């Protein structure tokens, strides 16, 4: 007998529920599936890499098409981006964000069905793929993820990552969004990137091509590889199946929020 997975605990649901768009006045007809069950179905898809339409009815999530429709509705309302920002603010309030430095890197994923932001992967025998560009704080909390085609160079997304960091509240004073320094490997070696970072009062710590790596840089940058490993443990993100980029990014934002949520629970335990 298959039991329903308990994914959405009370603490997580208490944060997500106020972010969900309100329903209109109910018209006559069948009672809709509760939002919490639909969210459990979406999280099941994120963890198990199963299409929404193939969700087994015996799990109690309702029809898979309903979960897909809620996912589309919630991503249009920006629910998952808001959830990520809420947990970043709570991490900041708990002094669990390290703003002294941020680390950025890119990672390829296979795109089975093509779609927007896909291209021939230079590291996967020219298979169709995408690339996740990630920037995280000094402790590994994901701050921003940008999805592009697999053949897009990392350096082209460096400033987009930095500018994409949301304003993070939780501490006295203005919300913060700029780290003191940004660490990158030789893929980010560019005079333009260094100039733009300095304009934003951020120190660039980037190795130069043709020279030895900055001593000790790898020991500081390992957190971004660790965060990629956590992100791609969500099986739906290890391989991209969504043709629509906004739906794939919705799963990415939800996964980033869950990573921050786990860090927050660990900090409070």
Task: Provide the pLDDT confidence category of residue 129 given band limits of 50, 70 and 90.
Answer: very high
177-191 confidence digits (pLDDT tens): 999 999 999 999 999
pLDDT higher than 80, residue 163? yes
Query: Of all helices (H) and strands (E), which one includes residue 51?
Result: none
DSSP 176: B
The confidence score (pLDDT) of residue 2 equals 47
Cα-Cα end-to-end distance for the chain: 33
Specify the DSSP element, H or E, that contains 74: helix 64-76
Contact call for residues 227 and 262 (beta carbons, < 8 A): no
For the question of whether the overall pTM of this predicted structure is more than 0.85, the answer is yes
Mapped onto helix, strand or coil, the DSSP state of residue 183 is strand
Q: Which of 4-18, 69-83, 111-125, 173-187 has the lowest average pLDDT? A: 4-18
Average pLDDT over residues 227-254: 95
Within 13 Å of residue 247, how many CA atoms lie on the same side as its CB?
20
pLDDT (0 to 100) of residue 6: 53
Domain boundaries, the chain: 10-21+31-76, 98-239
Task: Identify the bridge partners of residue 146 per DSSP, sorted by sequence position.
Answer: 133
Q: Give the tens place of pLDDT for each residue, 17-63.
A: 999 998 776 656 666 788 888 899 899 999 988 888 888 777 777 77
Q: Given 3.40.1350, 3.30.420, 1.10.3470, 3.30.300, which CATH number is that of 98-239?
A: 3.30.420
Distance CA(13)–CA(42), nearest Å, equals: 13
Adjacent-strand bridge partners of 205: 183
- DSSP line for 218-236: HHHHHHHHHHHHHHTTSHH
Spatial neighbors of 249 by CB under 8 A, at least 6 apart, are: 75, 145, 147
Residue 4 confidence (pLDDT): 52
Place of tokens 């249009």: 76
Mean pLDDT of 120-129: 91
């Amino acid at each position: 007998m298959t039991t329903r997975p308990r994914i959405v605990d009370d603490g997580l649901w208490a944060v997500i529920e106020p972010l969900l768009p309100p329903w209109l006045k109910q018209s006559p007809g069948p009672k809709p599936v509760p939002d919490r069950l639909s969210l459990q179905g979406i999280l099941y898809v994120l963890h198990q890499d199963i299409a929404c339409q193939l969700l087994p009815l015996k799990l109690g999530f309702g029809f898979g098409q309903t979960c897909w429709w809620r996912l589309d509705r919630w991503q249009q309302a920006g629910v998952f981006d808001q959830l990520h920002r809420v947990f970043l603010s709570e991490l900041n309030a708990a002094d669990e964000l390290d703003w002294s430095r941020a680390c950025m890197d890119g990672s390829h994923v296979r795109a089975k069905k093509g779609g927007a932001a896909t291209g021939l992967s230079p590291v996967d025998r020219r298979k169709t793929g995408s690339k996740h560009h990630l920037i995280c704080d000094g402790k590994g909390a994901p701050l921003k993820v940008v999805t592009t085609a697999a053949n897009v160079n990392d350096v082209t997304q460096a400033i987009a990552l930095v500018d994409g960091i949301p304003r993070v509240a939780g501490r006295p004073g203005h919300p913060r969004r700029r780290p003191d320094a940004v660490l990158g490997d030789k893929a980010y070696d560019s005079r333009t990137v260094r100039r733009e970072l300095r304009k934003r009062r951020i120190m660039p710590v980037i190795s130069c091509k043709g020279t030895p790596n900055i001593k000790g840089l790898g020991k500081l940058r390992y957190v971004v590889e660790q965060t990629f490993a956590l992100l791609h443990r969500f099986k739906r993100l290890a391989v991209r199946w969504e043709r629509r980029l906004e739906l794939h990014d919705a799963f990415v934002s939800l996964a980033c929020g869950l990573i921050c949520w786990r860090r927050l629970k660990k900090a409070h335990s």
